[in-house]
Amino acid sequence: MEATYQKRSRVIFHVDCNSFFASCEIARDPSLKGKAVVVAGDPKERKGVVLAANYIAKQRFGIYTTMPLWEAKKRCPQLVVLKPDFHLYREISEKVFQFLATFTPVLERASIDEGYLDITDCYSLGSPLDIAEQIQKELLQTLHIPVSIGIAPNKFLAKMASNMKKPLGITVLRKRDVPKVLWPLPVQEMHGIGDKTAKKLNSIGIFTIGELAKAEKVTLQNLLGITGVRLKEWANGIDPRPVDPESGEKWKSIGSSTTLPRNVTEERILLEVLRDLAQSVSNRMKQKGVVSSTVQIMIRYSNFQTITRSKTWENPFQEAEEIFQRAVYLLKRHWNGNPVRLLGITAVDVFDKKEAVKQLDLFHIFNKLSPYNCVKREIEKEPCCFPFDRINSGQTNTKHKEECNHGSISYYPK
């Protein structure tokens, strides 16, 4: 096929699977079509929060991600509640990215349900719009997964574009469209800005993306450091970052969390939960061959207030006992005694074990010879004796936002 468009600049896609967890469940069980479906905690115990909701649940009943399950059930008594099946989600995610890789090898996995493609050199396949329509159509027909696609000259604009029309939207956002389309929006709607950053910007009189774009560079740098400079560039539609096929393989953190079946105030129970979580994190670190020097714990109280606390140690670790002891250290110093609803442990900034340089001080010599390590080796021989599968592992890098409108192709400005 002859080229159907002239190359002038980069052409970047952001492909976002709509309500991914819920879509995977409906793809597995088509009888769920037409019903309000959420993925959450154990429906029998009504614990946990909504991890994902399909569009019927969102649009008809106002159910949203992070809503307590009891409230979602109250809004929709007929709500179908399914426990998360991360094995299924990873399996379907792999198929999605395998399909996307047939269009271009310049593919970056941003998370389990979203990724970037650089199709600048794919002009022989058709126009960007032709390619986007083909991707959307085939993923829906073969895997039954709806996706929204943003088309833009860089990653930031492509990400913003894909959020503009869900489900099944295709949106083209050009750099020249930025003042009309993005600048009127509040800063909290901008990719890369969370609640805390938005509050900091608001504190100096910046409320819209346009005001951020026009703000003095030095002011933003004093407020947010180098992040402030980057956000100003993005607000002006500037983002030189390449689509990096290797970035998806760079593990930054490994964590597990669980929502408790009831509000817990007993330290003994919290320590039992931490031990299980530490084992889960350790198992995954060993599978990936990575170590870490930083542990972070997350505590969510019964009033849904959430705190995270972390500490970095001199020597890297991988064993469950080491992770557990560090998590206990953090819990004892930062838990205020109020009822706990959720606990989580994350090994932050993990890196390849082969790169770890460990000092063989007396502590490590003792650790190698300790009775614990003898027991550990027996556990590793018979891992099936330990029911760690009951832990509900949370995937915190996946974000599920409020989505609305019907699928269509949009160009901005209209």
Q: Could you tell me which residues are annotated as the binding site for Mg(2+)? A: 16, 113
DSSP characters over 43-66: TTTT-SB-SEE-HHHHHHH---TT
Check: CB of residue 208 under 8 Å from CB of residue 216.
no
Q: Say how many C-beta atoms besides its own lie within 10 A of residue 104's C-beta.
A: 18
DSSP type of residue 304: -
Check: CB of residue 43 under 8 Å from CB of residue 122.
no
Check: CB of residue 159 under 8 Å from CB of residue 191.
yes
One-letter identity of residue 231: L
Annotated binding site: 16, 113
Nearest to 256 by CA among 302, 320, 197: 320
Q: Say how many C-beta atoms besides its own lie within 10 A of residue 387's C-beta.
A: 8
> Which residue among the candidates 25, 108, 114, 322 is catalytic per the annotation?
114
Q: Say how many C-beta atoms besides its own lie within 10 A of residue 24's C-beta.
A: 27
**Is 314 tagged catalytic?**
no
CA–CA separation, 265 and 43 (whole Å): 23
Q: How far is CA 342 from CA 182, 256, 262, 299, 325, in A?
A: 36, 11, 9, 6, 19
Give catalytic residue positions: 114
